[in-house]
Amino acid sequence: VRLAAVDSRVLALAAQVTESREQDIPLLLLKLKGILNSASLGCEESKKIKQDIYDYDLTQYCMLVLRQDHSRLRGGWATAAQLAEILSHCCVGLEVKEDPEEFYKKFLPSAVDNLLVLGRRLQARFIRAIKDEEKQEFLHWFQTVTDAICWLFGGHIQLGACVLQNDHFLQLLITDDVETAVIMMSVLHSILRVNSSVLLQVDEETLYSVLDELVYKLSSTTNPVIGNAATKLLLLVAKFCKQLVKVLTARYKGLKGLLSKQWTGKGFDRDLSQLLDLLYLEQSNGKGEMQRQHQAACIIQATWRGFQTRKRLKKLPQAVTTLQRSFRAKREQELQHLKKQKEDEALKLQMQLQRQRAMRLFHERQLALLEIIHASQVNKYMEEMEGKSALTIQRFWRGYRARRNFHQQRQSLKEYKAAVIIQRAACKFLEKRRRRRPLSPWKDPKGLTDEQRLALQQKVDDYIKLHPASQMSEEMSKELHMQAQEKLAQFLLRSRLDQRAAQRRETLLAQVNTDVELLMNAPALAETTEKDLNVFMSRSVPVATKARQSHNTMLKYSRWPWWKKLGDEFEEDDVIPDDALSAELGTLFIGGRK
């Protein structure tokens, strides 16, 4: 009989929702709006339709769908806002007779929580939206969801405390966005209108959080819309809850000054004056205590200011001395900078004059030589001068490049030497620790049993049978012995030669290291003295003579005519024939040590 009384549209929709896929359910649930609008609000038919919708769990479907991320579902956030409106209309006017405790204690608080979660998502997307069209759409959907919440707790008054104590409501209220903040304060205004004593029913933490946010909005913004909404809310709180006026005057000391200075003349002076009258009326009761506290504060401030003034006066001579010292230092630094700049300009001018004088003398000398030298020898003389100039330029450039490369490699050489020293110390430490380590006592090997010995002997016999030894004659043995003796003699001879070559390499490496150390420790060319030059000169007269002769030979070879170098086309420019040198390069050394 009960099934016959069920609305056929609700029954058909429930069947479709049960058989449909999950992503199609939100669009199917939108048909509930047409079913609800078909009956007039408050009549028996409307109550019967809402009861059928609840009995067939369609309201539970609507509540669960609100938790989903509608950016990935069909219909988007517009569908979610419509479902929120449908859910609130289904719950208001519904009288559940079977298990009402589950409806009032579990279902309605869950519905409020899901609506607030949907509101937070829409608020976040409204704040992140860039285009004006998207912002208007998200704001419209957010307004629809908040209207659904207001409609829900308007039909069920006990939900006002549930909304205030919900963490999502406080998060929605704590926002810097003007549009959504005004909407949430209107929701709070509706809650206080429906249930004026709701703030006394919640815990102190929730009450103080709401009041703190309202006062913060008054102190942190100059927008008259926010100020008007927050002032009306505080006035409503002060009118309906007389106990909270004491809380406002005691907890927020500067609220009256803030309201009178910052919000006077902003278009809502009537509400503002009423709120100030209530606050001043409460303050007049404890005026004597406030005066005593004010006098105490004035005494403390006067004492502190006197102490600070005396402290500043004591430090004044030291501050003046420090200021004078810093001023003199800065002036001295500027004078030094000007002096250095003048010296640099004078040096630059002097170098320019010397360069001009040298060029003039050079041209005069060239003209004098051209007058003396025969016309047929001028080309030869000019070629010699060009060669000498090229050699000078090359010498300076090679010296500069060698010094630059040496300075670049100095740090790597230092790091290499440091690494060698560290490795040597680590090896010595490991060797000492290895020597100090006590030797483990010798343990005799375990003897073989008779069975193991017989098995091992059997394996040896089998291997000998499978791999018999080859027979060798006495002549072959002698020949093999002679070959081994010859190879051993060759190895010993080669090892002796390798040892000599290694000794020679070590000697050359020590000489190179000595030269590198001398070059690294050598001063710059501008700081070189005659004593430093003697370090790089040989103390042996024959060796120095040989070096000088070799150098002169190299210079003569570089000045030879082209027809003397016809056999050297395929040699490098820096290679000089051995027969042209009278000294061997191995006899040259640095620092007077061979």
In tens digits, the chain (594 residues) has pLDDT values of 333 366 778 778 778 777 777 777 777 777 777 777 776 665 777 777 877 777 777 777 787 877 777 777 666 888 888 888 888 888 887 777 777 778 788 888 888 888 888 888 888 888 888 888 888 888 888 888 888 888 877 878 788 788 888 888 888 888 888 888 888 888 888 888 888 777 777 888 888 888 888 888 888 888 888 888 888 888 888 887 777 777 777 787 778 788 888 888 878 778 888 878 777 776 666 555 667 788 889 899 999 999 998 888 888 888 888 888 899 999 999 999 999 999 999 999 999 999 999 989 988 887 887 778 777 777 888 888 889 989 999 999 999 999 888 888 888 888 889 999 999 999 999 999 888 876 555 555 567 788 888 999 999 989 888 887 666 778 888 888 899 999 999 999 999 999 999 998 998 888 888 878 877 888 877 777 877 777 777 667 777 788 788 888 888 888 888 777 765 544 544 444 555 444 444 444 444 433
Single residue among 332, 349, 375 that ends a domain in this structure: 375
Amino acid 583: pLDDT: 40
Single residue among 202, 221, 237 that ends a domain in this structure: 202
Hey, what amino acid is at 105? K
Say if 296 falls within a structural domain. Answer: no
Say if 371 falls within a structural domain. Answer: yes
Query: 191 and 333: one domain?
Result: no
Domain, as residue range, for 356 = 305-375
Helices 204-220 and 178-194: angle between axes, nearest 10 degrees: 140
- Report yes or no on whether pTM surpasses 0.75: no
Single residue among 356, 375, 394 that ends a domain in this structure: 375
Query: 35 and 171: one domain?
Result: yes
Tally of domains in the chain: 2
Provide the b/e sequence for 131-156 (b: ≥16 CB within 10 Å).
eeeebebbbebbbbbbbbbbbbbbbb
Cα atoms in the 13 Å half-sphere on the side-chain side of 134: 11
Q: How far is CA 65 from CA 68, 73, 81, 114, in A?
A: 6, 10, 11, 9
Distance CA 53, CA 90 (A): 8
Say if 232 falls within a structural domain. Answer: no
Query: 185 and 333: one domain?
Result: no
Query: 34 and 159: one domain?
Result: yes
Asked if residue 92 lies in contact with residue 151, where contact means CB atoms within 8 angstroms, the answer is yes
Amino acid 336: pLDDT: 93
